């Protein structure tokens, strides 16, 4: 319980490493990763110099959505091991100085969860109102026009209750009814279960999807002036999602969630906010004031745009909108194409992009999240349709290839079958071009992407300005991003050339004498105030 642990703010400025358990390390020879495999590889994670490891879901599940369809919140799925395996993982992580964050999928369950099995059995049982049920329209169609992210209407007919139930994702992922206080109580007890097992934090999946509009009002169409931004692959983007998510009642639930965490020492929370242009307002509401979430992350830097102007726009927008809140930046995760593939131009150098990107990420104000394999510079895998396991990709193939390309197994040993991930056929294939990037190959190479990640994260820890200092942007050339990070330990000037062509940066008049700390290219400052920047060049200096 809480006793005023001085490390309660460990999450502020933390570097977090995301593990996708099914693809990290197989210890049993069944082709799928597991908790024991993660435990065996924790030294690799610790060697990077990160503060915490985030585990994507490992709970009991029929795996229709790879574990994001939970059938028991307090059990480990047998494919990943047991609760005892989890306890050993936590103990070893703590021994290595790593915090453990787990993924909580509270907005919905699997249709095989006992709660839903009981709820769908009748309209008058004890859990009849635990999920979002609604009568059909007079013509038998769905109650409103809401759409599911994974395709089709967000409503599924149930022949026993003769009603529709709501699902924002797969039809096998019914949405819980957060308007029912009993649902909130039951979910908070599952959170307490993991707190008691020593978990240090929670990543809240789809945190703004918890509540729906009680009146079930139709969503309006997306305004015409935004039509060019609407993806034609998935009709979900044609609606302005005013009523099926981001409801005001969520604020009070998040206060309850935070109060539970605050009853324990040094626990933290990070929420995933997907809310389009409203994301920053949502992050502000969810993180400001210290009574809801500790931090959130959005999808602003998880897209295809790679430019100085875009990064500055995103960071400045956050700094303006979220006064007193905190953000966690990431360039890759288990839901998007790996950033080395998104951001490397045809004919470009993916290793240079990987090194540039981690240096930039480490310099931004906020906490940062790394996704397994990016420290090896792994590109997105090209998979055949018959190899896909992601229902999202299968549904929208071929215009959208799904998320399996970023979920292929880690490569540990170049000469071993399947890169040392498993002795059996992996659940997703290991691309041949990933093997040359295996961890054992890069461990011995001081110029590797892996070595660069370790140097950059060590540099970040050594400079308080990068961990929790303020940020102030400076005007620079079209392709150059420049900003100052300031803390009690001093001021750092950070300059990044996003172009593959050389550029220059003029030191600001107030820079005075600078001490160069990081320079890709010449560390010489021409004429006393001009910094030469090669393509994808980086310059970090201490200002006097």
- Among 69, 103, 205, 300, the one annotated catalytic: 205
Q: Would you state the pLDDT for residue 229?
A: 55
Both tokens of residue 502?
């050389």
Q: Would you state the pLDDT for residue 230?
A: 53
Which DSSP symbol is given to 192?
Answer: H
Strand order in the sheet with 201-204: 295-297, 268-272, 201-204, 99-104, 52-55, 15-19, 367-371, 328-330
Phi first, then psi, for residue 231 (nearest 5°) are -75, 135
The fold adopted by the segment(s) 108-175+216-234 is Oligo-1,6-glucosidase; domain 2 (3.90.400)
Is there a catalytic annotation at residue 129?
Answer: no
Residue 117 has a CB neighbour count (10 Å cut-off) of 14
> How many Å apart are CA 449 and CA 375, to the nearest integer?
6
Q: Is 356 helix (H, G, I), strand (E, B) or coil?
A: helix
Q: Where do the CATH 2.60.40.1180 domains begin and end in the chain?
A: 469-543
Q: Tell the burial category of 248 from Cβ atoms under 10 Å away from its Cβ (0-12, 13-18, 19+).
A: exposed
CATH class of this structure's domain 15-107+181-212+247-389+404-460: alpha beta
The C-alpha angle 20, 288, 328, rounded to 5 degrees, equals 25
Q: Would you state the pLDDT for residue 523?
A: 54
Q: Where do the CATH 3.20.20.80 domains begin and end in the chain?
A: 15-107+181-212+247-389+404-460
Low-confidence residues of the chain, pLDDT below 70? 1-6, 224-232, 521-528
* pTM across the whole model: 0.96
With beta carbons less than 8 A apart as the criterion, state whether 431 and 437 touch.
no
Q: Where do the CATH 3.90.400.10 domains begin and end in the chain?
A: 108-175+216-234
In 3D space, the residue among 224, 384, 231 whose CA is nearest the CA of residue 303 turns out to be 231
The fold adopted by the segment(s) 469-543 is Immunoglobulin-like (2.60.40)
Q: Beta 52-55 vs 99-104: how paired, if at all?
A: parallel
Is there a catalytic annotation at residue 244?
Answer: no
Q: Would you state the pLDDT for residue 3?
A: 38
Q: Would you state the pLDDT for residue 399?
A: 92
With beta carbons less than 8 A apart as the criterion, state whether 201 and 101 touch.
yes
- Among 65, 111, 272, 380, the one annotated catalytic: 272
> How many Å apart are CA 330 and CA 70, to the nearest integer?
25
Q: Would you state the pLDDT for residue 2?
A: 45
In 3D space, the residue among 260, 271, 109 whose CA is nearest the CA of residue 195 turns out to be 260
> How many Å apart are CA 367 and CA 487, to the nearest integer?
16
């Amino acid at each position: 319980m809480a006793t005023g642990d001085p490390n309660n703010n460990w999450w502020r400025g933390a570097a977090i490493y995301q593990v996708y358990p099914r693809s990290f390390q197989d210890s049993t020879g069944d082709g799928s990763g597991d908790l024991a495999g993660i435990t065996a590889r924790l030294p690799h994670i610790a060697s990077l110099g990160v503060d915490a490891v985030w585990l994507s879901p490992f709970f009991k599940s029929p795996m229709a959505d790879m574990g994001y369809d939970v059938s028991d919140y307090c059990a480990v799925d047998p494919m990943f091991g047991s609760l005892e395996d989890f306890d050993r993982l936590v103990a070893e992580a703590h021994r290595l100085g790593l915090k453990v964050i787990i993924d909580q999928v509270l907005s919905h369950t699997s249709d095989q969860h006992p709660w839903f099995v009981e709820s769908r059995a009748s309209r008058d049982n004890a859990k009849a109102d635990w999920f979002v049920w609604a009568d059909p329209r007079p013509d038998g169609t769905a109650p409103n026009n809401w759409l599911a992210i994974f395709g089709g209407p967000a409503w599924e007919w149930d022949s026993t209750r003769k009603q529709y139930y709501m699902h924002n994702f797969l039809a096998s992922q019914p949405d819980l009814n957060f308007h029912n206080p009993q649902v909130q109580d039951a979910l908070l007890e599952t959170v307490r279960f993991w707190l008691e097992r020593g978990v240090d934090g929670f990543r809240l999946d789809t945190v703004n999807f918890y509540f729906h509009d009680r009146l079930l009002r139709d969503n309006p169409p997306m305004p015409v002036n935004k039509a060019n931004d609407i993806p034609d692959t998935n009709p979900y983007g044609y609606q302005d999602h005013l009523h099926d998510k981001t409801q005001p009642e969520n604020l009070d639930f998040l206060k309850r969630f935070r109060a539970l965490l605050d009853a324990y020492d040094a626990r933290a929370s990070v929420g995933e906010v997907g809310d389009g242009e409203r994301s920053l307002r949502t992050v502000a509401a969810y993180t400001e004031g210290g009574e809801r979430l500790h931090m959130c992350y959005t999808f602003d830097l998880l897209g295809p745009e790679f430019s100085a102007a875009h990064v500055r726009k995103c960071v400045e927008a956050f700094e303006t909108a979220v006064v007193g809140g905190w953000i966690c930046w990431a360039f890759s995760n288990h839901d998007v194409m790996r950033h080395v593939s998104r951001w490397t131009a045809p004919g470009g150098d993916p290793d240079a992009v990987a090194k540039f990107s981690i240096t930039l990420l480490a310099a931004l104000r906020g906490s940062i999240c790394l996704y397994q394999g990016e420290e090896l510079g792994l590109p997105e895998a090209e998979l055949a349709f018959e190899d896909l396991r992601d229902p999202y990709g299968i549904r929208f193939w071929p215009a959208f290839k799904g998320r399996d390309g970023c979920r292929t197994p880690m490569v540990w040993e170049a000469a071993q079958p399947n890169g040392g991930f498993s002795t059996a056929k992996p659940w997703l294939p290991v691309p041949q071009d990933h093997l040359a990037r295996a961890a054992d190959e890069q461990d011995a190479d001081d110029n590797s992407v892996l070595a660069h990640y370790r140097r950059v994260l060590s540099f970040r820890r050594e400079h308080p300005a990068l961990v929790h200092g303020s940020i102030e942007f400076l005007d620079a050339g079209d392709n150059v991003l420049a900003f100052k990070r300031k803390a009690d330990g001093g001021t750092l000037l950070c300059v990044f050339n996003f172009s593959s062509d050389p550029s220059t940066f003029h030191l600001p008049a107030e820079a005075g004498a600078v001490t160069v700390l990081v320079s890709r290219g010449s560390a010489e400052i021409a004429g006393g105030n001009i910094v030469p920047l090669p393509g994808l060049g980086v310059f970090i200096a201490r200002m006097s």
